[in-house]
Amino acid sequence: MKNTVAYCRTACPNKSDPLAGVKLQEKEIRRYAKRHGAVISTIYADAGVSGATLERPELQRLIADCRAGKIGTVVTKDLDRLSRDMRQQIALLYIFATAGVRVEFSAREGHSDTFLIKTLSAVLNSKKRRRAPSKKTESPTIFDFGSLNYVLRGTIDPNGPVVEPLML
């Protein structure tokens, strides 16, 4: 059975307790998991790190563990914990989906980002121009979002790092 894990992130840590924000998220996620019969096995936490970049140590470790097949579900407070940038959110959801990982949100249960996730996933699936390359040397995966062409580099090699997505 694959693990259920949590991902927590805060951009502005509390000066008296830099981990206060991620501890609060962790507590909320554990309550959510318990209500749903799951147990959180690992917490990935980036405290004091902006959601505008994908270069976060614990996010990178989470992605590596997902790609290695160690994780079945990632629970996070809301979509903004993964990224504040919609293009990066799409890239991360794609990475998790291709690794067979489910993403759940603990915030506002019943009023979560499910609609947004389904919408982003539908756009991702309907606008994908070609399948992800199987070899590192092949072209990057390209998605066409109307006037926005977007390249996901770094998702090509399943064992490679995630690199900031680039605009075409």
- Among the ranges 30-39, 90-99, 107-116, 139-148, which has the highest mean pLDDT value? 30-39
Instruction: Decide if pLDDT at 168 tops 80.
Output: no
Instruction: Decide if pLDDT at 151 tops 60.
Output: no
Instruction: Decide if pLDDT at 92 tops 50.
Output: yes
State the Cα–Cα distance between residues 115 and 103, nearest whole angstrom: 13
Decide: pTM greater than 0.85.
no
Average pLDDT, the chain: 75
- Could you say which of 3.20.20.30, 3.40.50.1390, 3.30.830.10, 3.90.1570.10 is the CATH number of the domain covering 3-126? 3.40.50.1390
Domain residue limits, the chain:
3-126
Nearest to 159, CA basis, from 69, 87, 83: 69
